[in-house]
Structure 1
Amino acid sequence: MKLYQLHTKQRLPISKKEAWDFFSAPQNLKVITPDYMGFHILSGAGTPMFPGQIIEYIVTPVLGIKSKWVTEITHVKENDYFVDEQRFGPYSLWHHKHFLKEIDGGVEMEDLVHYKLPFGFLGQMVHPFLVKPKLNEIFEYRREKLIELFGKL
């Protein structure tokens, strides 16, 4: 199975603390996720983020097919980074690192996602025209939404 990577960076004109407060609150994921994905948290988002936290949600990524997604917050260094890993869901592997770095005039937010697709060779075949473009679209929506919410640096 092939391991894929998605890497993004974005600069925002907000403090590192403000960025942390927003990104470490699981309920804000809905705010930066396209509406058509039907994102809905089922459980696990009612407390501040901590290692071992399990968050369950429903998402409709493609063709109106609902999927249950369960992630675990595996690492947290307050105000610096956190890691979420899929435990159950549409990917064979999903490991998402979120980093925050203070810069002149604001904060740089960095996402690094490593993922594997199910279905072996078939998964690899659909990656370039279905999965990769969809992930790029979702992260572009996030970028635009964050500019709308916080401005551009």
Structure 2
Amino acid sequence: MQELYFTQKLPVSLDEAWNFFSNPANLKDITPAHMGFIVTSKHHGEQMYAGQIIRYIVKPVLGIPLKWCTEITHVADKQYFVDEQRFGPYAFWHHQHRFTETADGVLMEDILNYKVPLGFIGDIVNALFVRNEVRKIFTYRHKILTERFGS
């Protein structure tokens, strides 16, 4: 099992941060274009809710499309939400998105626990490729969010 932790401070209100991040349609905007990320599910309202299923197509390696399905399992309004993979490229995926209001904006925290399939072969693939690619995605998100909201 792998755990990654990312933080970012944004100079926006808690309402503005929550409204942006809890809308599944915005996921594409914060994912690198080379990943070919497309949300394929229809959304019921603009904000996430516990029990919501979100389906995607993503092309993480060599442009090969993979179907990915996550469920929003927990939501505490303007505090956190959790997405968990139901099927897709990982053996396990649990991603917490946390939001804390600060004097000058919002502290966002991403706590990601994941496991690559295929046992020790997956562990090698993770060490050589996956972990760095996941970090690059969050580095990209940090850059895009800074451009959008400031720093």
Residues 98-149 of structure 1 show CA distances to partners (whole Å, capped at 9, x for unaligned) of 0000011100000000001101010001112200110010000000000000
> How far apart, CA to CA, are the structure 2 residues paired with 1:44 and 1:93?
24
Give the CA deviation at 1:49.
1.2
Secondary structure of residue in 2 paired with 1:65:
coil
In structure 2, C-alpha distance between the alignment counterparts of 1:63 and 1:46, rounded to whole Å: 33
Q: Distance in 2 between matches of 1:15 and 1:119?
A: 43
Normalised by the size of structure 2, how large is the TM-score?
0.97
* Larger fraction in strand: 1
Counterpart contact for 1:54–1:70, Cα < 8 Å:
yes
CA distance in 1, matches of 2:81, 2:131: 23
In 1, distance between residues paired with 2:72 and 2:38? 18
Equivalent residue, structure 1, for 2:17: 19
Identical positions, percent: 53
- Runs (4 or more) in structure 1 with deviation over 3 Å come to none
Of 13, 27, 30, the match for 2:28:
30
C-alpha separation between the residues in 2 aligned to 1:23 and 1:6?
19
Counterpart CA distance in 1 for 2:34 and 2:3 is 24
* Counterpart position of 1:71: 70
Gaps of 5+ in 2: none
CA contact (8 A) 1:44 1:53 kept: no
Task: Name the residue aligned to 1:117.
Answer: 116
Q: Is the 8 A contact 1:97 1:112 kept in 2?
A: yes
CA RMSD in angstroms, aligned pairs only: 0.8
| Structure 1 alignment gaps of length 5 or more | none
Q: Secondary structure at the residue paired with 2:40? A: strand
Structure-2 separation of matches of 1:38 and 1:30: 9
User: Cα offset for 1:46?
Assistant: 4.1
Shift in CA distance, 10/49, structure 1 to aligned 2, threshold 3 Å: same
Aligned 8 A contact 1:101 1:107 in 2? yes
Asked if 1:140 is matched to 2:139, the reply is: yes
Q: Figure out how many residues of one structure are paired with residues of the other and give that number.
A: 150
Distance in 1 between residues matched to 2:74 and 2:136, nearest whole Å: 27
| Partner residue, 2:50 | 51
d(CA) in 2 for partners of 1:118 and 1:128?
13
